Structure 1
């Protein structure tokens, strides 16, 4: 039965994956994969917005190398990791509860709870969240088995899985601590004394091995990642915590949130109604009260759940919060996907906990349990359907598909430009440059600093002719019939009809060259660009970064004489 449930989850998640596409950080991952080699430190040791995840970058590189910009590869990796995490959770439940039918209840919770849905559907988030879920479930089971049997192999596999988790997601540092807590609770809830001391002693090989791994990992993390990112204020933190609990986690425990909102290019966030939030809190409080009343020792389990939620929330709020952060950030739920494993383990502990007085405490009838499980599954499925409706909206697939087909017909290079903000926001610069995003499919020379034919990629991915918007103009030169005469390496000033601020500008250079060769072009304040010129009367468009009231031009080819005429300097545009 458990196998059928996991298969059902994978079918449902396969449908979710099929409705998605590459989004935001996914494009950063594939862009770096297309521009760096697999074993490059620039790829594996890249500080990705505070994340240290070399294995995730390696996975992205392999997927991109096999099928650049094809969604099938990312979708397959998501499903493989989801299958691994689900099997690990099943193993954990068998270890905690034994092979009995009651384990299907917490298993169904994990398999279909919407709490894991947003992190699964977004590839780059899945490469963090799913290995963490796998590591949590696997190491919890290993810890319990090590304490129970004393077999050292569980310490070895536990440490190995911890290493894997850390290579995908730095949040995996919580794994050994959660495993210790669950192993201790597994003995405590059944009435054993000295549970913490016994787990510490019998599980020592796992705890010592984990400590050594965490120590080595911490050194690497501090070298790679800039940790000076905490910027939240108390008010921000309070708002984010409220959004994560009342509007996020609590409704998800009942199969919510049932509705999602999305403003492109943001990811969907949960929008449960006020009534749904109130009902969800009532259900949660009722479960907590009933469980503690019938099984007093599960109060410690609930304390662990609350503690883990706080531990999960605070670092995210500190790292992602601030004056420009909205509370809906936490309602996206992707930062809390690992809570599903902790909650599943906690529910299992509650099921095996010793009752207050077995002869006086009635158990829920089978029909009631079945009805509750069915209601939760239906509720979760509806939340999944409404999520997919929101998640499937977007412009990225059309943009990338169109531009991929257009690149093959290029007969001249393109100047650098940013991709549309609906595809990748300017805050990610320079990762949002077209040359970076399209690096897996762009041939060498597709993008250059100069081009004889100015064209641009539109917001829909079409490549069209463009012009230079006349922000400024090169004034006519002093030499009659030539304009500005350029000979030798001594720079000649091309005067503009006004100053220009520091920016990325496009120069339309109209010239007459005596032979083929190279010239350099730069603003008064800025780096120079090497530009190839051809013999005869031509125009070349050059992307120059800088500021000033003049351009500086010089030749790099011996014997090259160039005359430069007036021309516009400004912003390249295809709709002016």
Structure 2
């Protein structure tokens, strides 16, 4: 028998990397599988289920994001026609797998087959900085393609820097295009590429260095410049402009985002999470709550590790020229895009806005410890040594293990609320509505808003039942006028709909009939209604089936009339102080009372 071929060193390193990525996917698969659709997810699913996810919609801004690729990804789940969290989980994990493989490819492309690549890769794979983005499907549609784009663009750009072959610059541009189609923070990617070029592929003083980088690698700057300018033109002409953040907002965002969130996140934090309040009082999202003592410890530990490396290795401080501009600009974008709209705390302390920094820090760890293959500038051991003391191997292993354990602890603590039905009532709401509609068969319902715990009111009209439950639309028909209508209640149950409160009409003058409506139109005075979208309820008794035209404010509706006692409900708009009822031929009815207001569920079936 012939001896088995021994694996080469690169092959062993690749197998170890793939094993590490597989372990990450297993852990994050557990976390993601226990979550469910949340908030903006319903907007995407509902749009696809209604058949409205066309090309125009994909290029509409969502909040401040222009994300056609992410919205297209959402249709792959939304077009299934059911609330398939399994499919969403598979999509998230596939994107995460591609991002992790792209990170490995980037590190291997820059530094070759070195064991140090595995250390940097391990940081990205376990870092809590990127963990929150996988728990929320709509966030993952931004974040993960952006991370793929970042890693791919860096790798392709360095390939170009080595060869100056335009095809590599074009490849980097394609990755950049993916980023721009996914996430606004791709605007930071050209800054990262310029920093790498100037710091590691040019020499001399600053101005000659900049001139060399600009002239020698002009193919790349043309490609990246065209893409970036084109994106900015589209973005600025498409996305509504927001006010520039004030100095205090920028200062506070930098403080919370960099000082309180970033440093603990690098070492496996934040270790402690807090809830800053959710729409409707319910929600799984958590924010950085690191105690002040641990924040101070994080910065001291990072400073000592950096100082140790700087004293042992020449040029080990250069990665700071790559990291610091990216970190500062990242904080500014958070301030400009989120702090003004949602408040500094909820924006700066939400770790998912730092997700891409997990990859950037991994890159900088590698830059501080290994040379880029083909670079003009590289780290080298100091001779003579400025620090003769070396860290014991055991201490390094214990420190690395502590970071891994802390990272897993932080990640599990973040994931658990997403597995909690009390924090995530959306699935129970949808399941209850599905069961009730299945039991009732196709039924007419009024189109009301869902509770804030499913989708907050600021998202109107996306929070209407017809949109949230669009994947179930074969089970119900939404109407704006009907008799004895039902609605989906706050708990998802099918309930009778009513307008509660005191009647807006005086007792009618027709004895035993209230307001008699026979052949001619009849106008009935009511307590004045302001100009708003309200529901009008009309209690009546009819002698035969037919129709009647109802006019109230800006609304004119031909509504169905059914024989016997019923309550007609119709949605109105505009201000009015009277209602005119015109019966069809052969229809007569007695109107008892009318009321105006929001619909309320008055009893589950």
- Is residue 200 from structure 1 mapped to residue 214 from structure 2 by the alignment? yes
> Deviation of residue 148 (structure 1)?
0.4
Instruction: Give the SS at the match of 1:52.
Output: coil
For residues 178 and 241 of structure 1, the distance between their equivalents in structure 2, rounded to whole angstroms, comes to 19
Instruction: Give the SS at the match of 2:501.
Output: coil
Q: Equivalent residue for 2:155?
A: 141
Q: Structure 1, residues 496-527: CA drift from partner, whole Å, max 9, x if none? A: 1x223344432222345676554443433x33
RMSD: 2.8
For residues 215 and 502 of structure 1, the distance between their equivalents in structure 2, rounded to whole angstroms, comes to 45
Task: Summarize the alignment of residues 474-493 of structure 1 with structure 2, pairs less than 5 Å apart.
Answer: 474-477=505-508, 481=513, 483-485=515-517, 492-493=522-523
Q: Equivalent residue for 1:278?
A: 296
Q: Structure 1, residues 12-65: CA drift from partner, whole Å, max 9, x if none? A: 111110121111111111122222444341x21222111111111111112111
- Is residue 427 from structure 1 mapped to residue 458 from structure 2 by the alignment? yes
Task: Summarize the alignment of residues 9-24 of structure 1 with structure 2, pairs less than 5 Å apart.
Answer: 9-24=24-39
Q: Equivalent residue for 1:35?
A: 50
For residues 203 and 397 of structure 2, the distance between their equivalents in structure 1, rounded to whole angstroms, comes to 25
For residues 541 and 560 of structure 1, the distance between their equivalents in structure 2, rounded to whole angstroms, comes to 22
Instruction: Give the SS at the match of 1:442.
Output: helix
Task: Summarize the alignment of residues 341-490 of structure 1 with structure 2, pairs less than 5 Å apart.
Answer: 341-352=359-370, 353-355=378-380, 357-360=382-385, 364-393=391-420, 394-410=424-440, 411-443=442-474, 446-477=477-508, 481=513, 483-485=515-517
Distance of aligned partners of 1:294 and 1:530 in 2 relative to their CA distance in 1, 3 Å threshold: farther
For residues 499 and 37 of structure 1, the distance between their equivalents in structure 2, rounded to whole angstroms, comes to 37
Task: Summarize the alignment of residues 495-510 of structure 1 with structure 2, pairs less than 5 Å apart.
Answer: 495-496=525-526, 498-510=527-539
Instruction: Give the SS at the match of 1:321.
Output: helix
> Deviation of residue 145 (structure 1)?
0.6
Compare 196-205 and 245-254 and name the one that shifted more.
Answer: 196-205
For residues 571 and 2 of structure 1, the distance between their equivalents in structure 2, rounded to whole angstroms, comes to 58
For residues 206 and 518 of structure 1, the distance between their equivalents in structure 2, rounded to whole angstroms, comes to 70
> Deviation of residue 291 (structure 1)?
3.3
Contact between 1:484 and 1:494, CA under 8 Å: does it hold in 2? no
Contact between 2:253 and 2:334, CA under 8 Å: does it hold in 1? no
Distance of aligned partners of 1:181 and 1:317 in 2 relative to their CA distance in 1, 3 Å threshold: same
For residues 391 and 347 of structure 2, the distance between their equivalents in structure 1, rounded to whole angstroms, comes to 38
- Is residue 212 from structure 1 mapped to residue 226 from structure 2 by the alignment? yes
> Deviation of residue 289 (structure 1)?
2.6
Instruction: Give the SS at the match of 1:267.
Output: coil
Distance of aligned partners of 1:476 and 1:204 in 2 relative to their CA distance in 1, 3 Å threshold: same
For residues 147 and 341 of structure 2, the distance between their equivalents in structure 1, rounded to whole angstroms, comes to 31
> Deviation of residue 388 (structure 1)?
1.4
Contact between 1:514 and 1:560, CA under 8 Å: does it hold in 2? no
Task: Summarize the alignment of residues 215-226 of structure 1 with structure 2, pairs less than 5 Å apart.
Answer: 215-226=229-240
Structure 1 unaligned regions, length at least 5:
none
Compare 437-446 and 413-422 and name the one that shifted more.
Answer: 437-446
Q: Equivalent residue for 1:166?
A: 180
For residues 114 and 549 of structure 2, the distance between their equivalents in structure 1, rounded to whole angstroms, comes to 76
Distance of aligned partners of 1:194 and 1:282 in 2 relative to their CA distance in 1, 3 Å threshold: same
Task: Summarize the alignment of residues 286-365 of structure 1 with structure 2, pairs less than 5 Å apart.
Answer: 286-295=304-313, 297-322=315-340, 325=343, 327-352=345-370, 353-355=378-380, 357-360=382-385, 364-365=391-392
Q: Equivalent residue for 2:7?
A: none
For residues 485 and 67 of structure 1, the distance between their equivalents in structure 2, rounded to whole angstroms, comes to 45
Contact between 1:482 and 1:565, CA under 8 Å: does it hold in 2? yes
For residues 314 and 81 of structure 2, the distance between their equivalents in structure 1, rounded to whole angstroms, comes to 55
Q: Structure 1, residues 154-195: CA drift from partner, whole Å, max 9, x if none? A: 122211122222112222222233123223333369999965
Distance of aligned partners of 1:267 and 1:316 in 2 relative to their CA distance in 1, 3 Å threshold: same
Instruction: Give the SS at the match of 2:474.
Output: coil
For residues 479 and 40 of structure 1, the distance between their equivalents in structure 2, rounded to whole angstroms, comes to 58
Instruction: Give the SS at the match of 2:165.
Output: coil
For residues 349 and 334 of structure 1, the distance between their equivalents in structure 2, rounded to whole angstroms, comes to 24
Q: Equivalent residue for 1:521?
A: 550
> Deviation of residue 351 (structure 1)?
1.2
Contact between 1:189 and 1:354, CA under 8 Å: does it hold in 2? no
For residues 251 and 106 of structure 1, the distance between their equivalents in structure 2, rounded to whole angstroms, comes to 17
> Deviation of residue 205 (structure 1)?
2.5
> Deviation of residue 551 (structure 1)?
2.4
> Deviation of residue 477 (structure 1)?
4.7
Q: Equivalent residue for 1:253?
A: 266
For residues 311 and 405 of structure 1, the distance between their equivalents in structure 2, rounded to whole angstroms, comes to 49
Instruction: Give the SS at the match of 2:471.
Output: coil
Aligned length in residues: 568
Structure 2 unaligned regions, length at least 5:
1-15, 371-377
- Is residue 532 from structure 1 mapped to residue 577 from structure 2 by the alignment? no
Instruction: Give the SS at the match of 1:567.
Output: strand
Distance of aligned partners of 1:95 and 1:274 in 2 relative to their CA distance in 1, 3 Å threshold: same
